[in-house]
């Protein structure tokens, strides 16, 4: 089905690139970290907890000059990631700056609200559509749920807007690519459970292998944005996950998956941003063909820009129902905003988590981060005066995930073990009046001691941390917690 109506334009910004006008599209994002347990289909997240922002997609193989006019007065302009060192030149309501190479950027004027997301991509192959088995050309398409088959090649033209969601069960060798937009606003979530295929969201795969998704902009998911259950050989590249504002809109969830790469992508989410999970105890006997006993292993996340609007940015857990999590690496990523935790291991069930690396991670910390609050009534978001977000740079413990660890008598039965974790070349960029985030590395039971955690070359505004005690330590009210050996080099 094809509808020729034009997509909505965000008119707060007028953008030209090397003198050529560029369309600014509208996207809806979360305006505040105000969350609740999913209250059911008749009580979706209200729009007054959201706001509009802009996004642009364009392609070039050389540096580009950006000229932007804004329809309101402003005094400050920040282009993130700030580690790129690009400072916009301000002239009244106009800005000029040069982007030296492809990447994902965010322009913020007087703070992060109503920002402009900038997705600068390298040119795509001119003939990549010729292998497609399904093609979405320029225009608006409303297919709804799309069930995938082995060997599918789905091409989404850069000028296509697809109101739909893709689901693959027991499929092999599937590619979805091309540069267009997939919008999940056609679907309404009706059940709390995120593991089962009740909700399609934008992309969902079960028991599948050799999956490639490349170059798609993803908006308005009904639940977890991109999720993979019991899958292997996954390549996710050049994605722009933005406009995620509904409850539990995680970015990418890899559940009991192996051999996966997430690279060169932007993710802004209203829940955890990139998450590795083990869910054997929920899926065994519940989902047909689920292969109990699969590890989470050989996972690489590299070259990504992350904005976490609730929860954790780079996360393992809290569901860790798998034999092992191993050979996992988050590297060369910019965390430009986060709420509770930047780098997180919540070993909440029974896995042995080991050989995990966080390397070359740049973490930006702002003074205007709003405090996270849980909503328990219809009361509007209203933090107490002076209330601040309690942020963690590093979090590693084994607090139990109750869905998985309670026996029939309601007693906690086990803790899990984490060891051989490396945090290397971590740069914390504390902005003016921002507070240094905490660190928490502890096992909650002396009978389940953690192994070594190493922090190597962690700097705060360029100053190297020499010992663990120089990092703020939090007391989060978990009695009996035991610290492992933490080596600072």
CA distance 98 to 360: 24
Per the model's pLDDT, the better-predicted residue between 48 and 3 turns out to be 48
Q: Which of the listed residues 104, 121, 138 is the one where a domain comes to its end?
A: 121
Range(s) of the domain holding residue 47: 2-121
Q: Supply 449's token pair.
A: 């001691």
pLDDT tens per residue, range 400-438: 887 654 444 445 567 999 999 999 999 999 999 999 999
Three-class secondary structure of residue 47 per DSSP: helix
Quote the pLDDT of residue 475. 80
Single residue among 73, 91, 121 that ends a domain in this structure: 121
Q: Are residues 234 and 168 in the same domain?
A: yes
Q: What is the pLDDT of residue 402?
A: 72
Mean pLDDT of the 191-216 span: 93
143 by DSSP, 3-state: which?
strand
Q: What percent of the chain has pLDDT over 90?
A: 85
CATH number for the domain spanning 52: value is 2.60.350.10
**Residue 89 shares a structural domain with residue 139:** no
pLDDT at 57: 96
pLDDT at 6 over 50: no
Strand, helix or coil at 364?
A: strand
β-sheet bridge partners, residue 71: none
In a shared domain, residues 200 and 346: yes
State whether 307 and 159 are in the same domain: yes
Q: In whole angstroms, give the CA distance from residue 294 to residue 314.
A: 21
Is residue 62 located within the same domain as residue 149?
A: no
70-75 long-range Cβ contacts below 8 angstroms, 24+ apart: 70/12, 70/13, 70/14, 70/94, 70/95, 70/109, 71/11, 71/12, 71/13, 71/14, 72/12, 74/109, 74/110, 75/110
Query: Tens of pLDDT along 47-98?
Result: 999 999 999 999 999 999 999 999 999 999 999 999 999 999 999 999 999 9
Average pLDDT on 222-243 reads 97
Is residue 92 located within the same domain as residue 199? no
Question: Quick one: 173 and 236 in the same domain?
Answer: yes
How many domains, the chain? 2
From the number of C-beta atoms within 10 Å of its C-beta (0-12, 13-18, 19+), residue 4 rates as exposed
State whether 15 and 147 are in the same domain: no
Domain end, chosen from 121, 139, 166, is at: 121
Q: What is the pLDDT of residue 140?
A: 94
Tell whether 170 and 44 lie within a shared domain.
no
Query: Do residue 230 and residue 344 come from a single domain?
Result: yes
**Does residue 180 sit in helix, strand or coil?**
coil
Mean pLDDT of all residues in 448-453: 96
Q: Is 370 exposed, middle or buried (0-12, 13-18, 19+ CB in 10 A)?
A: middle
Distances (CA, A) of 452 to 38, 407, 441: 37, 30, 10
To 5 degrees, how large is the angle CA 215–CA 147–CA 210?
55
Least confident stretch, 173-187, 453-467, 475-489 = 475-489
Name the pTM for this structure: 0.96
Report the pLDDT averaged over residues 276-280.
95
Do 256 and 282 lie in one domain? The reply is yes
pLDDT digits (tens, 9 = 90+) for 289-314: 888 899 999 999 999 999 999 999 99
State the CATH number of the domain containing residue 246.
Answer: 2.160.20.10
Higher pLDDT, 243 or 406: 243
For residue 125 the two structure tokens come to 């192959």
Residue 2 has pLDDT above 50, yes or no: no
Residue 21 and residue 57 in one domain: yes
């Amino acid at each position: 089905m094809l509808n020729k109506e034009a997509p909505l334009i965000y008119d707060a910004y007028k953008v030209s690139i090397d003198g050529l006008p560029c369309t600014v599209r509208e996207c809806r994002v979360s305006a505040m970290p105000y969350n609740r347990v999913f209250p059911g289909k008749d009580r979706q997240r209200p729009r007054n907890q959201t706001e509009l922002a802009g996004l642009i997609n364009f392609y070039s193989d050389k540096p580009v000059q950006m000229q932007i006019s804004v329809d309101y007065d402003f005094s400050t302009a920040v282009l993130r990631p700030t580690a790129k060192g690009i400072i916009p030149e301000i002239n009244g309501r106009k800005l000029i700056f040069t982007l030296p190479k492809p990447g994902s950027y965010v322009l913020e004027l007087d703070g992060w609200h109503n920002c402009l997301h900038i997705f600068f991509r390298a040119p795509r192959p001119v003939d990549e559509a010729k292998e497609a088995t399904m093609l979405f050309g320029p225009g608006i398409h409303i297919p709804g749920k799309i069930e995938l088959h082995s060997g599918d090649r789905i091409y989404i033209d850069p000028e296509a807007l697809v109101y739909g969601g893709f689901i693959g069960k027991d499929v092999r060798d599937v590619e979805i690519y091309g540069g267009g937009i997939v919008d999940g606003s056609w679907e309404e979530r009706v059940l709390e459970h995120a593991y089962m295929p009740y909700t399609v969201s934008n992309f969902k795969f079960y028991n599948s292998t050799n999956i490639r998704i490349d170059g798609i902009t993803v908006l308005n998911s009904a639940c977890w944005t991109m999720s993979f259950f019991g899958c292997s050989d996954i390549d996710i590249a050049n994605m722009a996950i933005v406009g995620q504002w509904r409850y539990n809109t995680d970015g990418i969830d890899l559940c009991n998956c192996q051999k996966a790469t997430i690279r060169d992508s932007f993710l802004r989410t209203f829940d955890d941003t990139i998450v590795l999970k083990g869910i054997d105890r929920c899926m065994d006997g519940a989902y047909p063909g689920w292969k109990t006993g699969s590890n989470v292993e050989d996972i690489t996340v590299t070259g990504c820009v992350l904005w976490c609007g609730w929860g954790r940015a780079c996360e393992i857990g809290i569901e860790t129902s798998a034999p092992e999590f191993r050979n996992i690496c988050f590297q060369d990523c910019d965390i430009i905003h986060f709420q509770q935790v930047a780098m997180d291991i919540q070993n909440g069930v029974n896995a042995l988590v080991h050989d995990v690396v966080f390397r070359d991670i740049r973490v930006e910390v702002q003074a205007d981060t709003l405090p996270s609050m849980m909503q328990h009534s219809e009361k509007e978001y209203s933090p107490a005066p002076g209330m601040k977000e309690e942020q963690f740079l590093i979090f590693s413990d084994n607090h139990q995930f109750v869905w998985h660890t309670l026996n029939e008598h309601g007693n906690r039965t086990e803790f899990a073990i984490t060891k051989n974790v490396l945090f290397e070349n971590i740069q914390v960029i504390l902005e003016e009046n921002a507070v240094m985030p905490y660190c928490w590395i502890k096992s909650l039971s002396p009978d389940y001691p953690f192994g070594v955690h190493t922090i190597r070359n962690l700097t705060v505004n360029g100053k190297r941390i020499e010992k663990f005690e120089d990092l703020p330590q939090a007391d989060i009210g978990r009695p009996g917690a035991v610290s492992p050996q933490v080596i600072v080099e």
